[in-house]
Structure 1
Amino acid sequence: MSEDKTINEAVVKSEKKRNTILTILSFIFIIGGGIWILSLIFDFHRYETTNNAQVESYINSVTARATGHVASIHFDANQFVHKGDTLVVLDDEEYRIKVKQAEADLAVAEGNLHSLEQSIVTATANQAASKDNLEGDKASLDKAEKDYQRFKNMIADSAVTRNQYDQVVSKLQSTKAYLDAGQKQLLASVSTTKQSYTNLEAAKATVARKKADLENALLQLSYTRIIAMADGYVGERTISIGELINANQVVATQVLNQKVWVTANFKETQIGKIKPGQEVTITVDALDDKEFKGKVVGFSPATGAKFSMVEPDNSTGNFVKITQRIPVKIDFEASAKELESVKPGMSVTVEIKK
């Protein structure tokens, strides 16, 4: 009996000790929970927080501007490239042939232009000669008319023979005919000269068009070298040697090395307490919750739903009120070197101090 009593006393003491420990732990958990709840309430009064936020950056799609087979590739996935670096070279044989054709067409057009310029020189000279001949014919006609008047008076007095008089009349008529022909020739020369000038303008326009064709052919040839338009990192490489690339096809995606920022999607009920210029604490999940400082820059002009491909239609009768979110742009205050490890697309938590 004494042994049983001893055992019972030991069990009772053990239970009392365990109950005491459990009571103490309960008090600790209750106090800790209260402190945690109070801290949350205190923080909520001091901060507006969201974890619906991502790091953003400018992303450029490098597209082909010409069609052709890939001759060589000068970049690897995730490689940093500088503005002007050649990324892809297309087979340019077809484009070089078009350049030669354009050069030949331009040479023909310039030859025609030079020929017309020479024809204008000839037509101008002919016009001047016709004008001079016409002046001579006018002088001859004036002399023939005077001779005719003189011989007409002399024939009346029988001072000259009929044969001499007929020769003078014939001379007068032939001189008039030469003068009429000279006038017509001068008109023809003037018309030819005008037509030559008109043809010259058309030839100049043709030369200008052929020069434009040559410039376009050279431009198309330059498109066979696809270059980076800015500094940045190239993403995945999805093309290979010999592949046919079409115009406007994306050959690479480049994350521009300019700046990164955060787009935080706050609930519409939080926006009223956020103002541009407020201080922000940015916690990056991927970097072991490393913190950066930032500032609010601005707000989206509409909620995210308004910019979605399929906007919700609340007029169907199945309306459920859902708190909307408005994107807020936040700039990092850290230097570019400090942000080297921060990549676009990383999830972050944002706390904005009220």
Structure 2
Amino acid sequence: MSEENAPKGANLKDKKRNTVLTILSFIFLIAGGLWILSLFFDFNTYESTNNAQVEAYISNVSAKAAGHIKEIRFETNELVHKGDTLVILDDSEYLIKVKQAEADLSIAEGNLHSMEQTITTSTSNQAAGKEKLAGDLAGLEKAQKDYERFKRMYADSAVTRNQYDQVLSKLKSEEAYLKAGQKGVEASSSITRQSNINLEAAKATVARKKADLEAAKLQLSYTAILAPTDGIVGERNLSIGELINANQTIAAIVLNQKLWVSANFKETQIEKIKIGQQVAITIDALDSKEFKGKVVGFSPATGAKFSMVEPDNSTGNFVKVTQRIPVKIEFEASAKELEELKPGMNVTVDVKK
């Protein structure tokens, strides 16, 4: 009896195995057919890439003046606000320069006041000279009349020679006084003109010294290095007493108020991506947590065009390499919801067609 049942059991196992193989063959056949069809037709409803990162603006804080560090008022990864003092430099040298500029300005203003007084005196002397000249002119006119009268009288022997000579001498004296007065007025006018020129130069000097003082005060203000914006400070690589040079970067502030994703799509995918399309953003570091976003812009060139050294095949052997074009994607989430995200995090982007 057992010998008769044995073949039946073996046949039943063979049938089951054949059925499974047949089903698997159909599955592989269908899958292969779908794969072949996918080569000619795009059935995917998303354009995807995992070549994408979270981005944010980073503000590099640079020193505007040179000096030794006196105080450091920030720590690594610390939240700072616009206007917060980050570093204070030793300002002793800059204070001396401010005092020197103040002294130079005082001297220049003193010279200006002296020049103004000189012009006042010169103007008064010029006015007095003109008044004296008017008097000399009147004296000359009287002397001329006296001379003409005495000349006729002398011709008629009505006056003596001595009287005539006195009148003639008086005439010559008045002419000399008038000439001297005219020369004095001309000299006074020349002095006044030169004083006015010197006055303008003194005013220019005062203006320059004021500018020098403002520049010295500005340099002094640079000894306090302030945060230009709100954000989180990166690494602190400074120490007390360290010499800082002008334009040297002393800190980097990440502006975490605005985050976006830069996704590098293949050039063959760009045709199917449009501004305003909805995007699913999956964050690798947050256990594939998903955020919504939308496409807001495209790079004007491929990523290779913006690299420091553009790829160039100098051997003459050309190999076409698919280029990547950065696409900017903005989050559709509040700043509160994006607090866990950090610039540089890798993400996967799915753009709905």
Match of 2:340 in 1: 341
Structure 1 partner of 2:280: 281
**Correspondence for 1:251:** 250
Compute the displacement of 1:23 (Å): 6.0
Distance 1:16 1:282, change over 3 A: same
SS in 1 for 2:204: helix
Which residue matches 2:264? 265
Long gaps (5+) in structure 2: none
Tell me the equivalent position of 1:90.
Answer: 89
State the partner residue of 1:212. Answer: 211
Distance in structure 1 (CA, Å) of the matches to 2:19 and 2:75: 63
Q: TM-score, normalised by structure 2?
A: 0.91
Distance 2:68 2:34 in 1: 64
CA shift, 1:33, in A, is 7.1
Q: Distance in 2 between matches of 1:158 and 1:261?
A: 122
Structure 1 residue 342: deviation in Å? 1.1
**Tell me, what secondary structure is at the counterpart of 1:272?**
helix
What's 2:192 paired with? 193
Question: In the alignment, what sits opposite 2:65?
Answer: 66
Structure-2 residue corresponding to 1:78:
77
Cα 1:123–1:100 shift into 2, 3 Å: same
1:269 is paired with a residue whose SS is coil
Partner of 1:326: 325
Aligned counterparts of 2:33 and 2:72: Cα–Cα separation in 1? 61
Q: Report the counterpart of residue 163 of structure 1 in structure 2.
A: 162
Q: 1:224 to 1:24 in 2, by over 3 A?
A: farther
Closer, same or farther: CA 201–261 of 1 in aligned 2, 3 Å: same
Report the AA paired with residue 52 of structure 2. A
Q: Which residue identity does 2:232 align to in structure 1?
A: Y
CA RMSD of aligned residues (A): 2.8
What is the CA–CA distance in structure 1 between the aligned matches of 2:275 and 2:196, rounded to whole Å?
68
Q: How many residue pairs end up in the alignment?
A: 346
Q: 1:257 Cα deviation (Å)?
A: 3.3
Within 1, Cα distance between the matches of 2:34 and 2:240? Answer: 61
User: Displacement of 1:45 after TM fit?
Assistant: 2.2
Structure 1, unaligned runs of 5 or more = none
AA of the residue aligned to 2:303 = G
* Cα 1:31–1:286 shift into 2, 3 Å: farther
- What one-letter code is carried by the residue in structure 1 that aligns with 2:322? T
Separation in 2 of the partners of 1:280 and 1:45? Answer: 14
Letter in 1 for 2:250: V
Secondary structure of 1:141's aligned partner: helix
SS of equivalent residue, structure 2 residue 238? coil
Q: Deviations over 1:29-60 (max 9, x none)?
A: 9699789979x999952110000001111001
The 1:28–1:111 alpha-carbon spacing in structure 2 relative to 1, beyond 3 Å, is farther
| Post-superposition offset of 1:314 | 4.0
Deviation sequence 1:145-175 (CA, Å, 0-9, x none): 0000000001111111111111111110010
TM-score norm. by structure 1 comes to 0.90
